[in-house]
Amino acid sequence: MISAALKALSDVLSPPFRSVLWKSLGLTLLLLVAAWVALELVVDSLTLLPWAWANTVITIVAGLGLVAAAILLIAPVTAIFAGFFLDGVALQVERKHYPHDPEGRELPMGRAIVIAIRFGLLVLAVNIMLLPTLFLGIGLIAALLANAYLLGREYFEMIAMRHMPVAEARELRRENAHRVLAAGFIPALLALVPLANLLVPLFSTAYMVHIYKKIAGRAHTLAA
């Protein structure tokens, strides 16, 4: 996994990936800024109470809530864009590191967008449910575990779908659930680091190409 992560990081920061990286970062930042402005407007509308101390309390609590939400909800925000860039990134990784292997088939754009939105909403729902755990002192641990499972599962299946039917991709993931979960901890950790978490969609795509190749190669060897 460490070797795959280092290769993926090198790929994402290399010249062929930079145009995709900037597009991804631009879209992610635009969405985050829009969400932050909307939340600020909501907070400002709440600070209209006749008691100054009450407005101060609301402002402090809301500020802390915004910070917590930004930490926990960065994964779903970045995940939404995976479908837009997955095929281009995966293809470049395959051509660079696995030139002698058959290239994956590009997912239909409509299906890719549906998968990305569905996944983003799923991660959003899970992380919203995890927000109360912040007050129990286990918020980051809970988010790490949940996102390791979700990021590992979804990115692995999306990569696998480029090489096999959907049902087979999901079955391969289930058969190697512990490996995929373990692999998911690296992008999940990255998702908790400010600024670095903006690389999650591209990094996870490149990273899971390497993980898929290892798992698929092992499955092929065992079948033979």
Highest mean pLDDT range out of 104-108, 115-119, 187-191?
187-191
E strand or H helix at 54, and its extent? helix 52-79
Measured CA to CA, the distance from residue 126 to residue 79 in angstroms comes to: 13
Q: Would you say the pTM of this structure is higher than 0.85?
A: no
Q: Provide the residue type at 175 as one letter.
A: E
Q: Collapsing DSSP states into helix, strand and coil, what is residue 138?
A: coil
Ranges of H-type helices in 80-138: 82-97, 109-130
In the predicted model, is pLDDT for residue 2 greater than 60?
Answer: yes
Residue with tokens 């280092």: 6
Residues 6+ apart with CB under 8 A from 67: none
The answer to whether the CB of 84 falls within 8 A of the CB of 105 is no
Helical (H) or strand (E) element with 169: helix 166-175
The residue assigned the tokens 């007050």 is 135
Identify whether the C-beta of residue 112 lies closer than 8 Å to the C-beta of residue 87. yes
180 vs 76, 109, 165, 172, 209, CA distance in Å? 19, 25, 18, 10, 12
Q: How far apart are CA 224 and CA 209, in angstroms?
A: 22
Q: How far apart are CA 139 and CA 180, in angstroms?
A: 22
Q: Going by C-beta distance under 8 Å and a sequence separation of 6 or more, which residues neighbour residue 20?
A: 85, 88, 89, 202
For residue range 184-204, list pLDDT tens digits in order.
999 888 877 777 777 788 888
Q: Does residue 69 have a pLDDT over 80?
A: no
Mean pLDDT over 26-36 rounds to 73
Residues in the chain: 224
pLDDT digits (tens, 9 = 90+) for 131-180: 676 666 676 787 788 888 888 888 898 899 888 888 898 999 999 999 99
**R_g over Cα of the chain:** 19
